[in-house]
Structure 1
Amino acid sequence: MDGRSLLIKAQKEEAQATSSSLFGIFGGTKQDRVEQAIDTYTQAANAFRTTAQAKESGAAFEKAAQLSKSVNEQNDAANYLTEAFKAYKKEFPLDAARCMDQAIEHYRLTNLRRAATNKQTLAELYENDVGDKAQAIIEYEKAGEWFSNDNAEALANKCFIKAADLHAETGHPELSIPIYESIARGSLNNNLMKWSVKDYLFKAALCHLATKDVIATKRALMQDYPAMESAFNPGTMEALFLANLLECVENADPAAFFQNVMQYKTRYPLDNWKLDVLAKTQKAIEDAAEDLT
């Protein structure tokens, strides 16, 4: 049967299950009827999915979830809501987010690791499909908190770093700095994580420059970061590069800032996030220089 025919069948089964009070020996119990309707709604949802009817597939999975709740099958309901999320995700991301939120509420009370994983998935949806970075930050930070509570520090750090990255992308580098620094400190004595300390602190340094807080930036570059990571010791390429950029910020010299970035980039690759933060900082220097003229 096709999805539409299965949906009609499921609706009839649901009507019979919810309106009848007497089922008799051959009719089965009310729960049996509801479970049959759930099964048929699920078949309809999968049939719709095979024909790329995302809205219909998601709605049928939601009906299966709704009926599962009515017979106190909360775990099944959460699983169906997760399937609805998958059905909606590409074409109807806000509907997908709504379903995932409901599923997470169940897992938060029964399976914290799964709740955290789904929260991370929700964050990725808001970031990549909805384009709502502010909401993505909220979801990443909550996912990180839950992973941490479940003693999954590597997974927690991944989420916190994503939140920090997005804070900087949305014009709030001052919120990124304590996240990068905290994770760097926590990684120093971890053999699996200590190799990332240099990158965390480099990102934090770029965010310091973006704030144009010269005093705090000097303290970080000259005291705090060298104490944690030898790559920031005086004379290293990173230390020289960052010191040169700080001088450009102090002197409000966007041309020299750009030249330093280009020279460094020829020898040491800079990913898109770093280039974006540097470009924002250069623009801020240009604006400040114009205000002085």
Structure 2
Amino acid sequence: MAPQSAAQSLLNKAEKKFNSSTGWFSSASTKYEEAGDLYQQAANAFKLEKLFRESGDCFSKEAECRERGNETNDAANAWWNAAKAYKQGYPDLAVQALGQTIVHLTKSGRFRQAADREKEIAQIYLKEANDVAKACESFERAGEWYAQEDAQATANSCFKDAADLHADLDQFPQAIARYEQVADASLSSALTRYSVKEYWLRSGLCALAMRDVVTAKRNMARYGQLDTTFPSTREAKFVMALVEAIEAGDLQQFSTVVGEYDQVTKLDNWKTSILLKIKRTLDEEPDLR
């Protein structure tokens, strides 16, 4: 019979303590505190052995002990540790554990930390679970909490990520609203004002992707009123050149405009994707005038 690992030995002790009855000289809170400590030790031992599912399960049991002992801060931390273990190959369990962490954090008014954990959930949905819709929801929720805590730069980053995902889902009006929200917030600071033209460019492309050159032109004119330097930027000129090609129903002109822009400013994956969507609308409906 193979010798029992240190981690398994600690887990057995933790379960024995958790299931034990309280005696004359001990209380339930003491029992759960001691069991929680043992589960934590077992979780760390399993992590050393690179048994991340087992580690996450032990941290989850620790969290349950902390909850039973009304140690809410420790419970939140235990759930977070469980999530970090589950991230090593078990994204669904990581999301569940982070959700439990957020419950404790929001109850205690720690919304900045809750936003950090919600952002982690968004990234798991995006990178591991490939669920763009849920990632978008989590980025927006995190952004709202960051904004409440006056962390505007981080909120803007989340809202911009949400806008990109709305566009990926063909939810172009929602994407435009988020880009404009981030642009409005960025206009007020000299440190972030430079980025506004990028948000307005993306907004303009979203309008074109939904076959609405009228909205695209109206929005670009309004952005020029908000920042008089914008119409002279490469971003604004690019959108207006695309508008001209679309109104002319000229696919070759459209491709030329895109190619010339890409030579100077390399198109990222998001812009390439949405420009392909716009091109398809031009293929399907050659005359949008």
TM-score (norm 1): 0.90
Aligned AA for 1:248? A
Equivalence map 1:34-73=2 (5 Å): 34-73=32-71
Q: Out of 267, 271, 274, which is 1:274 matched to?
A: 271
1-side partners of 2:107 and 2:208: how far apart? 42
Question: Mind listing any 5+ residue stretches in structure 1 that lack a counterpart?
Answer: none
For residue 31 of structure 2, what is the aligned residue in structure 1?
Answer: 33
For residue 137 of structure 1, what is the aligned residue in structure 2?
Answer: 136
2-side partners of 1:146 and 1:139: how far apart? 11
**For residues 237 and 191 of structure 1, do their structure 2 counterparts lie closer, same or farther at Cα, with a shift above 3 Å needed?**
closer
2-side partners of 1:12 and 1:38: how far apart? 12
Q: Tell me if 1:93 matches 2:126.
A: no
Give the superposition deviation at 1:231: 4.7
2-side partners of 1:75 and 1:86: how far apart? 17
Q: Tell me if 1:14 matches 2:18.
A: yes
Give the superposition deviation at 1:219: 0.9
2-side partners of 1:45 and 1:238: how far apart? 52
For residue 241 of structure 1, what is the aligned residue in structure 2?
Answer: 238
2-side partners of 1:7 and 1:264: how far apart? 61
Secondary structure of 2:19's partner? helix
Aligned AA for 2:156? N
- Structure holding more helix per residue: 1
Aligned AA for 1:37? A
Per-residue displacement from partner, 1:131-172 (whole Å, max 9, x unpaired)? Answer: 111001111111111111111111111111110011111222
Give the superposition deviation at 1:202: 1.2
For residue 161 of structure 2, what is the aligned residue in structure 1?
Answer: 162
Question: Mind listing any 5+ residue stretches in structure 2 that lack a counterpart?
Answer: none
Secondary structure of 2:285's partner? helix
Give the superposition deviation at 1:289: 4.0
Aligned AA for 1:214? V
Aligned AA for 2:249? A
Per-residue displacement from partner, 1:151-199 (whole Å, max 9, x unpaired)? Answer: 1111111111110011111222221111111221222221222121111
Secondary structure of 1:215's partner? helix
**For residues 230 and 14 of structure 1, do their structure 2 counterparts lie closer, same or farther at Cα, with a shift above 3 Å needed?**
same
| CA RMSD between the two structures | 1.8
1-side partners of 2:98 and 2:243: how far apart? 44
**How many residues end up aligned between the 2 structures?**
282
Aligned AA for 1:228? L
Per-residue displacement from partner, 1:33-64 (whole Å, max 9, x unpaired)? Answer: 22111111111111111122111111111100
**Contact 1:61–1:80, Cα closer than 8 Å, also in 2:** yes
For residue 260 of structure 1, what is the aligned residue in structure 2?
Answer: 257
Give the superposition deviation at 1:254: 3.0
2-side partners of 1:282 and 1:49: how far apart? 50
TM-score (norm 2): 0.92
**For residues 91 and 283 of structure 1, do their structure 2 counterparts lie closer, same or farther at Cα, with a shift above 3 Å needed?**
same
Per-residue displacement from partner, 1:178-229 (whole Å, max 9, x unpaired)? Answer: 11112212222212221211111111111111111121111122x2121223
**Contact 2:86–2:94, Cα closer than 8 Å, also in 1:** yes
1-side partners of 2:269 and 2:106: how far apart? 35
